[in-house]
Amino acid sequence: MKKFPLIFISDTTRSAEISRAVKSGLVRKIGPKLYTSNLKDSPEQIVRQNIWQILSLLIPGTVVSHRSAIENKISPAGCIYVTGEYRRTIDLPGLKIIIQKGSGPLDGWDSPILNLYVACRERAYLENLSPSKARGHELKILFRHEIEERLAVILGSNGEQEINRLRDRAREVAGLLNLESEFLKLNELIGAVQGTKEANLTSPLSKAHSIGEGYDPKAVERFAALRAAIADAAFPVRNAPDAGEEFYTVAFFDAYFSNFIEGTEFEVEEAYEIVDSGIVPLTRPEDGHDILGTYRIVGSLDEMTKIPSDFEEFEDLLTSRHAVILEGRPDKRPGQYKRRPNIAGLTRFVDPALVRGTLRQGFELYRGLAHPFARALAMMFFVLEVHPFDDGNGRIARAMMNAELVANGQVRIIVPSVFRNEYLSGLKRMTNECDPVAFIRQMQHVQDFVSRIDFSNKDSTIEKLRGCNAFAAPADNIRLRMP
């Protein structure tokens, strides 16, 4: 029995053979001259999974262009736009291939894929600034604000050098395609995003870049998702005891566990001796300073009752607190924003050039929240997600979080050692999937745990926490026990 390819086209030499195969149920037709040997999946699914192969079979030598060359996917209206020798529309299940007449591939510029070409970035941006009439409910080009945002992302992620390179190359391509007027528009937009030219920018992201406060739109999207989940939620009110000796005991465990999350591990009694004496061990001076510096912030009633009323005050608190927490690690530039990107596993945090702008966006989303617990979670998450410093980002984020709670007379959120994996998994789910459910639930759980502990005596508190597995190393078979 002859085997047919997954996707293939018919011609005069094979039409009779293919017709017999269709009648025999070996293949089926899914479009003009287009056949498949896949008899199970829907035609729409087959088309979407094999779009590049289909384009190369049906319209070889054409150039994927306009919005399709930038988006690299089927448009919202279900179209792919290409440029060829003549106008034509091909209807397939779940897809319209819109062919417009225009210049063929630019040698040395456009990228070959199978028997096709994809317009180079410079050509694509120029084409997307060409005049266009809507086809049905859609334009073949992106809206102006979408182009602005993409230029802002190039500037924010790769800097002035890369966006200037785009402009210089686009000038050359414009001459090859007679798109000089489109280049003038692109040049004006790039200058406006850089803040060197005046133009009526329409995108919030591009406007922010033009005044030197570009931000990471994906990070802001995650901030907004968390805010939407916590803005009107009914969180329990867990009042903390009046400030007294208990405040300082709670603060010690706050500093101790916050450092454990970051890998600074001491026996609890040894850590308490560091805090109590103010003397760091000679064998581990940096780790000792981490414990002591964190405690100097979270154990200061004056410091922990300050919450920011505007962005400038927020920045002052953030950087000054970080400078204290990391004072024992001068090589980490305490209190100064990072100069190089920081990466943890597969996660790349906000680029250095976008730190201040992204923090401002997070602060704006935070400050409209009313409930102290909601404000605390928002504060911690957006600081941690930006990762504004070379090191100490987790510690400063949790200190900023707990200041929101302490200032409002609420119980702190402290993550015991045994709960570290759950805590980190909730954060990863927020970052990777924009899903705040697990994160919120876990933060509620550990605040509830802290609210049930009597912190009036350090020694008895240690025994109580030990009985709840709080000091245990994270493990699948050990869980945090409620008192």
Sign of the torsion formed by the C-alpha atoms of 187, 193, 195 and 198: positive
Please give the C-alpha separations between residue 376 and each of 142, 238, 356, 405, in angstroms, as whole numbers.
Answer: 39, 13, 20, 6
Q: How far apart are CA 329 and CA 335, in angstroms?
A: 11
Residues in the chain, how many?
483
Strand order of the β-sheet with 95-101 is 88-92, 95-101, 79-84, 63-64, 116-118, 111-113
Nearest to 323 by CA among 296, 343, 346, 342: 296
DSSP 273-290: HHHHH----TTSHHHHHH
> Averaged over 174-201, what is the pLDDT?
82
Share of residues in the chain with pLDDT > 90 (%) = 61
E strand intervals along 302-450: 343-344, 347-348
Q: How confident is the model at residue 44 (pLDDT cuts 50, 70, 90)?
A: very high
DSSP secondary structure code for residue 5 in this structure:
P
pLDDT digits 0-9 by tens, 387-442: 999 999 999 999 999 999 999 999 999 999 999 999 999 999 998 899 999 999 99
pLDDT digits (tens, 9 = 90+) for 233-269: 889 999 998 778 899 999 999 999 999 999 888 889 9
Residue 39 near residue 25 (C-beta atoms within 8 A):
yes
Going along the chain from its start, the domains and CATH numbers come out as 60-141 (no CATH), 144-210 (no CATH), 217-467 (1.10.3290.10)
Give residue 343's pLDDT band: very low, low, confident or very high (50, 70, 90): confident
pLDDT digits (tens, 9 = 90+) for 95-152: 999 999 999 999 999 999 888 999 999 999 999 999 887 666 688 988 888 888 888 8
Residue 3 or 195, more confident: 3
The pLDDT value recorded for residue 213 is 62
pLDDT at 210 over 60: no
Mean pLDDT computed over 198-223: 67
